[in-house]
Amino acid sequence: GPDDDGKTVDGPHVFAKAAMQYGIDFGRRGFGSIYVVASGNGGRFQDNCNYDGYANSIYTVTVGAIDEDGNMPFYAEKCASMLAVTFSSGTSQHRSIVTTDWTQRGGKGCTTAHSGTSAAAPLAAGMLALMLQARPCLTWRDIQYLIILTAQKVDVDHSEWKRNQAGLYHSHKHGFGVMKAWRLVNAAKIWETVPWITSYLYSSDEIHLQIPKGTNQPLTITHTVTKNDISGLNLFVLEHVQLFVTITHPCRGDLEITLVCPSGTNSIVATPRKVDRSDAGFQDWAFSTVRCWGEDPTGVWTILITDHDTSSYGSGFIQSWKLKLHGTWITRQQFDERRRLVLEAMDGRFLNDSYQRPCPKAGPDAAPKQPVSQRTLKFVMLAGIFCLVMALYETFEYAACYRDEKKAQRQRMLEHLQTNPSVRDGDIEDADHPESQRLLSNETETVIPLDTFDVREIALDIGNSTNDGDDSESLQLISH
């Protein structure tokens, strides 16, 4: 993923996006590949995982970290797109994660110092593997639902937990809470596959609105989603919400963007970053949030953009924005019933039982997608090797011949100076110099005989010029 340096805004590019989309559509025989992404270790730089296009994607499971006391470590990042957390390292007084280490004992050793969100994400992946072992037909969206409905709150006093309209608690620090393998596997046994995803998109016109400076007067933009807007989409329950913005600003790190759902649930999708002094702004960047999960999509959506820069240097402008709502056509009552069944399964009654809901039919194994043939790849590789060889040859030839060419050039300059004393002595501009006198004299003036010209043709040409009304130059023939 991108650097966790508190100033980078980057994510998957064209081919990575295509690969992720292909995995979602065709991975695991149509149930979708599961992408687990670490939230990042840029907390000490005030970084935020909403600036990471992988952690910000609707297709990924974004996992943060907590230390052994259940608190957010100094290196961990916050964001509105985080789903959950697992355990990892903390301060020097806390224990880290034990894992295998191929650099120890000839590849057979272990380490007790594995740390960061890079240690938290594999723990989450292992728990998801246990879920799939219990119920292989879980889709990529089923996985996200089960994480959200089974995660448990941690660090209750300091994590700013927000209860949304659907009764779910979310924190920018810890997502929906800490993942527990017991709860996940029990819930997987009784889970019914969610219906297909459905989406609503609103795109603004080119607006070019100035962002006021100061924290007391954010730029406020609202948009109302009505039942008519989503009629035919069967979008009843929200999942991911994406806000795409194009903003110009002389210092991107001064901006803060908050998205407020119709229920009043707020998501800080962009936080200020002191080391981000870039003037690149945001170019159709997608911020996402999961804090409105399970809510009703209809109502007034509000965007608040705050410029924390109070100086008089430059101003920011929002050029355009888009709001994309993802969800499903299960009703709110059906969502609440699913949540109730998950809570009932936590007593373990289904864990060692043969009971399991029937799985939907799996799709066929998709053939690997090959946008470029093997023959074309070989040709491109050979062409690249040829270009590399030619470049090396030209480089070595230039290095070897450069000195000889410089010597020859110097010799030609010396010979020129010897044959042209005026150039060597630097007095070519002296008017009394013999060479200057020779050039200025008119002894070599060329005299053209008069009989060279046809006087009749000249007179005719002069007459024609006069008749045309043009200014003509008089021709004087001087005989010597």
Task: Indicate which CATH number applies to the domain containing 78.
Answer: 3.40.50.200
Q: Return the higher-pLDDT residue of 402 and 146.
A: 146
pLDDT given at position 213: 92
- Cα 118 from chain centre: 20
pLDDT given at position 456: 55
Residues in the chain: 480
Instruction: Note whether 2 and 126 are same-domain residues.
Output: yes
Domain-embedded: residue 384: yes
Q: How confident is the model at residue 436 (pLDDT cuts 50, 70, 90)?
A: low
Domain-embedded: residue 474: no
Domain-embedded: residue 14: yes
* DSSP conformational letter for 329: S
Domain-embedded: residue 297: yes
Long-range contacts, 168-171 (Cβ 8 Å, 24+): 168/293, 168/294, 170/290, 170/291, 170/293
Instruction: Note whether 47 and 176 are same-domain residues.
Output: yes
Instruction: Note whether 84 and 99 are same-domain residues.
Output: yes
Instruction: Note whether 39 and 169 are same-domain residues.
Output: yes
pLDDT given at position 457: 53
Question: Which of 173, 317, 345 is CA-nearest to residue 255?
Answer: 317
Query: SS3 letters for 423-473?
Result: HHHCCCCCCCCHHHHHHHCCCCCCCCCHHHCCHHHHHHHHHHHHHCCCCCC
pLDDT given at position 471: 47
Instruction: Note whether 261 and 187 are same-domain residues.
Output: no
Residues 207-218 pLDDT 10s: 999 999 988 889
Evaluate if residue 246 carries a pLDDT over 90: yes
pLDDT given at position 181: 96
pLDDT given at position 372: 63
pTM above 0.85, yes or no: no
| Contact of 303 with 243, CB cutoff 8 Å | yes
Instruction: Note whether 286 and 157 are same-domain residues.
Output: no
Instruction: Note whether 259 and 311 are same-domain residues.
Output: yes
Report how far residue 62's alpha carbon sits from residue 82's, in angstroms, rounded to the nearest whole number.
5
Residue numbers of the domain that contains 239: 196-330
Report how far residue 276's alpha carbon sits from residue 251's, in angstroms, rounded to the nearest whole number.
7
pLDDT given at position 344: 93
Q: At what angle do helices 117-134 and 181-190 cross, to 10 degrees?
A: 30
Which tokens belong to 111? 């380490």
Ramachandran region, residue 399 (left: φ > 0; alpha: ψ -120 to 50; beta: rest): alpha
Q: Domain total for the chain?
A: 3
Instruction: Note whether 239 and 130 are same-domain residues.
Output: no
User: In which residue are the tokens 């019914």 written?
Assistant: 192
Give the CA count within 13 Å in the CB-facing half-sphere of 22. 13
Residues 187-196, mean pLDDT to the nearest whole number: 94
Q: Burial-class residue 293 by CB neighbours within 10 Å (0-12, 13-18, 19+).
A: buried
Instruction: Note whether 97 and 215 are same-domain residues.
Output: no
Residues 225-237 pLDDT 10s: 999 999 999 999 9
Q: How confident is the model at residue 479 (pLDDT cuts 50, 70, 90)?
A: very low
Alpha helices in 59-167 (DSSP H): 117-134, 140-150
Instruction: Note whether 242 and 378 are same-domain residues.
Output: no
Pairing of strands 316-328, 97-101: unpaired
Q: Burial-class residue 200 by CB neighbours within 10 Å (0-12, 13-18, 19+).
A: middle
Report how far residue 439's alpha carbon sits from residue 434's, in angstroms, rounded to the nearest whole number.
9
Instruction: Note whether 95 and 106 are same-domain residues.
Output: yes
What CATH number does the domain containing 291 carry? 2.60.120.260
Domain-embedded: residue 74: yes
How many CB atoms are closer than 10 A to CB 306? 21
Report how far residue 191's alpha carbon sits from residue 340's, in angstroms, rounded to the nearest whole number.
11
| Contact of 72 with 173, CB cutoff 8 Å | yes
Q: Which helix (H) or strand (E) holds 480?
A: none
Report how far residue 231's alpha carbon sits from residue 36's, in angstroms, rounded to the nearest whole number.
33
Domain-embedded: residue 206: yes
Residues 6+ apart with CB under 8 A from 429: 436
Residues 175-202, mean pLDDT to the nearest whole number: 96
| Contact of 328 with 197, CB cutoff 8 Å | yes
- Per mean pLDDT, which range of 36-45, 144-153, 186-195, 304-313 is the poorest? 304-313
pLDDT given at position 267: 98
* DSSP conformational letter for 419: H
Instruction: Note whether 106 and 241 are same-domain residues.
Output: no
Query: SS3 letters for 151-204?
Result: CECCCCCCCCCEECCCCCEEECCCECCECCHHHHHHHHHHCCCCCCCEEEEEEC
Residues 344-353, mean pLDDT to the nearest whole number: 84
Domain-embedded: residue 472: no
Collapsing DSSP to helix, strand or coil, 67 comes out as: coil
Domain-embedded: residue 305: yes
Evaluate if residue 466 carries a pLDDT over 90: no
Question: Taking all residues of the chain, what is their mean pLDDT, rounded to a whole number?
Answer: 86
| Contact of 138 with 29, CB cutoff 8 Å | no
Residues 394-412 pLDDT 10s: 887 777 776 677 677 777 7
